[in-house]
Amino acid sequence: MYNCSRRSTLRLAALAASALALGASGALAQDKLRIGYTISKTGPYAGGAGITTLPNYELWVKDVNAAGGIKLGDKRLPIEIVEYDDRSNSEEAVKAIERLANQDKVDFILAPWGTGLNLAVGPTLNRLGYPHLAVTSVTDKAPELAKRWANASFWLGTSAQISNALAELLGKLKSEGKIGGSVAMVSVADQFGIELASAGREAFKKAGLNVAYDKTYPLGSQDIQPLVKDAMAAKADVFVAFSYPPDTLAITEQAQLLKFNPKLFYVGVGTAFPLFKGKFAANSDGVMGIGGWNADSPALKDYLARHKAATNKEPDRWASSITYASLQVLQQAIEKVGKVDRAAVAAEIRSGTFDTILGKVKLKDGLLQEVWGVGQWQNGEFYALAPTSLPGARAPVVPKPEWK
């Protein structure tokens, strides 16, 4: 029932002791960079945190320490981690952030997983003055929040960006005569699903598409078949689900069972997970979903290999590489500033240009602009398709092949 694992409690105790010792002898020269984070190791968010966030934090720390650490002035400081489990609870996450800042006195804090927790800890990180790299959060509030919180940056775009990218692709395919104009849409009834669906409704209309079926389902539904059957009855060429990982897998499995094979099949979070390919194998071919990456990029290929070697699993093809890139940005910003000046580092993150595995990264108004909204499984890789204007966008395969 305690908020942190025993190991981190022990570490905390050791840190407290060393902090006391340091305090007595005044400010000694730093020989480590202490970085803390709170992550959902238990509770409903553990599934997402365990694939996208935690492995990348671990990989990054390993990579940085293997290279000697982060360069401050003329010295390289290795990273030391302080970790808490927030149990997928926003109050716990806020408490953990307070503890990291006030008791552990860490130099920097990494973001928790998910839109909900990032919004929950946002005000606290802002008040404490720590840079907040809210990577795994998708919300239409992001531009407004980035204005309000000078320390914050957002990396996955807004719900509207994802829906717009999808609508743009659908509009283009319709004008090419590859799909008809009607869409069947289902969405999970929580903030994520509601925002994406309402942005989608608007964007589809603008792109000249007609939403023939539009229903929500409660979080944690254990049988999705009725929904898929009704969507099937709508006889739309395009099926869109703004869903969470368990539902994404269940919807795809049911569609396959019912031989529901619309020309374009788009499902939500989880499509980009290696798990999806593992479960559906050849049947994943042609399935579209949120995210995607430029799989031909040598930097990302190298990242994929390192991720596999270090964590024994593949990264997801949406937010994983962005998470890693955001950490590279943090490192380069710290090195440019040259000291633990959190306000200056936060400002540098928002104004600087950085070299990352995604290529050159430059935020605009605190938001990463180049975010993929649609990807597609093609021959065992999840390629990014839209926005079609971004470099590296691949051509979609439509109609999707029959289920095997």
Residue 16 vs 281, nearer CB to other proteins: 281
Q: How far is the CB of 91 from other proteins (least distance, A)?
A: 18
Instruction: Show the binding pattern over residues 73-92: x = contacts other proteins (CB under 8 A), - = does not.
Output: ---------------x----
- What CA–CA distance (Å, rounded) separates 170 from 176? 10
> Where are the alpha helices (H) located in 51-158, listed in sequence order?
54-66, 90-102, 115-128, 142-148
DSSP 345-396: HHHHHHH-EEEETTEEEE-BTTB------EEEEETTEEEEEESTTSTTPPPP
Q: Is 386 among the residues that bind other proteins (CB under 8 A)?
A: no
Q: Is 40 among the residues that bind other proteins (CB under 8 A)?
A: yes
- Chain centroid, CA 288 distance in Å: 17
Instruction: Show the binding pattern over residues 302-321: x = contacts other proteins (CB under 8 A), - = does not.
Output: -----------x--------
Among 12, 51, 117, 134, binds other proteins (CB under 8 A): 51
Q: Is 221 among the residues that bind other proteins (CB under 8 A)?
A: yes
Q: Is 299 among the residues that bind other proteins (CB under 8 A)?
A: no
Q: Is 93 among the residues that bind other proteins (CB under 8 A)?
A: no
Q: How far is the CB of 313 from other proteins (least distance, A)?
A: 8
Residue 81 vs 340, nearer CB to other proteins: 81
Q: Is 382 among the residues that bind other proteins (CB under 8 A)?
A: no
Residue 38 vs 88, nearer CB to other proteins: 88
H/E stretch holding 307:
helix 298-311
Nearest partner of 315 among 332, 301, 327, judged by Cα: 301
Nearest partner of 216 among 235, 238, 181, 244, judged by Cα: 244
Residue 170 vs 197, nearer CB to other proteins: 197
Q: Is 217 among the residues that bind other proteins (CB under 8 A)?
A: yes
Q: How far is the CB of 361 from other proteins (least distance, A)?
A: 26
Q: Is 194 among the residues that bind other proteins (CB under 8 A)?
A: no
Among 128, 150, 258, 390, binds other proteins (CB under 8 A): 258
- What CA–CA distance (Å, rounded) separates 195 from 140? 7
Q: Tokens 């305090």 appear where? A: 23
- The sheet carrying 108-110 orders its strands as 79-85, 33-39, 108-110
Is the bond preceding 143 in cis, omega lying within 30 degrees of 0?
no
Residue 203 neighbours by CB under 8 Å, 6+ apart:
160, 163, 164, 166, 167, 168
How many residues touch other proteins under the rule CB under 8 A: the total is 46
For residue 393 the two structure tokens come to 């966008």
Q: How far is the CB of 87 from other proteins (least distance, A)?
A: 9
Write out the residues near other proteins by the rule CB under 8 A.
1, 40-44, 46-47, 49-51, 54, 88, 186, 189, 215-218, 220-223, 225-227, 229-230, 245-246, 249-250, 253-254, 256-259, 270, 273, 275, 278-281, 313
